[in-house]
Every structure is written in C-alpha cells, then in structure tokens.
Copies of this chain bind each other. A is one copy, B any other.
C-alpha cells in the first residue's frame, strides 16, 4: 500500500514521499525499509533518530528528530493511528462458516448459519450462538449459554451453563466464564458446606477477556462485566462482582466477591481488591496495590494497603531511609541526654 493511501486511511497528515510502498507496521528498533513505525513514548527518542523504517507515525505537534529521508505521518493521537495502521495490514483470518464434523452440538442448540464452530467444540442443550461468531477448537459452551454476534472465542475457553455474552466479545484461550463462586458456609464442626452457585454471569458488548482468566458465578444474583471493558490474562473476578464500562484490568488482578468496580477504572497488574466494596468511577491503581476499602471516584492510588499515590511515593522514599531515620533519632536522644545532664548542673 502506498504511504499516501495509508496516511488517508489512518487520518494522518503526510510529510514526505507518499509514493513509498509500505508492506507492514513494525517496531521502531527493528523496522527496515518498507516498514511503517510509530513513536509515542519518550523512551524511544534515540531509537527514532536511528530507525531504518520508511515512515514514522508521531504526534501532530511533536518536534522530533528522525533519521534522514524517513517520512512522517502526523497524527492527532499517534497510538490510535498506530492501532489503525496495524489493522490495515493485519491478515484477514476467517475460519470457514459451519459446524466442523468433529464438533458436538446438542440438538436443541441454535447456531447462526454463518457462525464458525471448530473441531472438538462442545455446545450444550439450548445454547445459542450468534451471527458471525467464531468458536475455536476445544471450547465448551454449557447448556443455555448465549454467545452474541461476531464474538471470537479462542481455543479451550469454558463458557458455563446459562452465561450470557454480548456482541463482539473476544475471549482468549483457556479463560473460564461462569465457574462456581468460592462460596462456603462454616459448619459448627469446622467443615464447610458448599453454597450452590446458581446465579448468572453477563458479559456485555465489546468486552475482551484474557488467556486463563476466571470469572465466577454467584449463588444468587449475577456477576456482570460492563460494555467495552478489557480484562487481561490470569485475572480473577469473584462471584457477584460488578465491573462497569470501559474498565481496564491488567494481568493477574484479583477482585473479591460482591465488589463493584465503576466505569473507566484502571487497575494495573497484580492489584488485589477486597470484597463488598466500591471502587469509584475513574480510579487508577498502580501495580500490586492492595485495596481493602472503598475508593472515591477519581482517586489515583498505590500501596498495600492502598493510599493516595503521591503520599505513597513520599512514604516509600522514606521507608528506604528508615535506618538513617532511626539513627538520627538515636543521635537526638544522646544529644538530649547530654543537654539534660548539663542543665542539671
């Protein structure tokens, strides 16, 4: 594709030779002639001067040095333009429509004619699979489950009984949706009685769920993931959790039972959230934060237990110097001893 056409399709302002033939989008450090690359992170400013790419996407008003002869595509949002560029060059991969001869589909299940059901897929009684959905091998779809239009369910995903999944949802390999919540009642003798987990799980439109993530169903009521939310690998969502819209949950985050995570929250990797609390709209928590209590909308938090990010940074800086602080205190004590001694005389 000519660079001029790329620029038009990803809505960038072209500076340079529009006739260059672009064959792929590639990382700034390994790009070669014929590649389009992008710059959106200052860590790569020196790589930019040395890149062998034929063209670079960068911010509209960025004044950056680029290797000679490299064309520029100025973008209102370079990362978004990059996303669109990758999309342009991504190979279209459409598995064939229809049900593979080695799939096992219950007679009462309903499969859209243009959906694609791969080998070794198991579809339970009464399940429904929407138009254009692609189901990769070894997916289990339980009785009564609903998969919306244009979903992509990668290999070895479990969608348990009666789970409801909206349109355009993408689920990576090995994720489990609708497993039993961790709900047990203590018996007087110290053993635990399982509470049947028979509530629902609803995954709204345009959600993405990462590899080997787990989303539990509750005993009563439902677990719900709001539209547009993106969940990374190995994330744990417990029974009865409500996650709002356009939330980002990075890898290995865990959210305990009945908690509500409101719209546009961002939890970085390995964050843990306790049960029965509310993480307000737009909260951002940095990696490994432990959140024991409800958090006000708009907060930016860190730490274990999580506190305001700036306070945590300050306290963490002093934590490192606690031995000095302790020594300073001991010095003061000595000086004070001396002074007291002197004042007695």
Chain A residues packing against B (C-beta within 8 Å):
24-27, 30, 41, 43, 77, 79-80, 82-84, 86-87, 89-91, 93, 100, 102, 104, 118-120, 122, 136-138, 140, 142-143, 154-156, 158, 160-161, 170, 172-174, 176, 179-180, 182-188, 190-196, 198, 206, 208, 210-214, 216, 218-221, 228, 230, 232-234, 236, 238, 240, 246, 248, 250-252, 254, 256, 264, 269-270, 272, 274, 276, 287-288, 290, 292, 304-305, 307, 311, 314-316, 318-323, 325-326, 328-329, 332-333, 335-336, 339-340, 342-343
Contacts and interface: CB of A to CB of B under 8 A. Distances in A.
B274 A80 contact: no
Nearest to A90: B196
B176 A172 contact: yes
Most buried by B among A77, A86, A240: A86
A191 B246 contact: yes
A140 B161 contact: no
A315 B307 contact: no
Contacts of A246: 190-192
Contact of A336 (B120, B161, B196, B332): B332
Contacts of A252: 236, 252, 254, 272
Copies in the complex: 3
A212 B174 contact: yes
Given A30-B221, A198-B91, A122 B138 contact: yes
Contacts of A208: 180, 184, 194
A83 B185 CA distance: 7
Contacts of A193: 80, 83-84
B185 A179 contact: no
A295 to B, nearest CB: 15
A82 B195 contact: yes
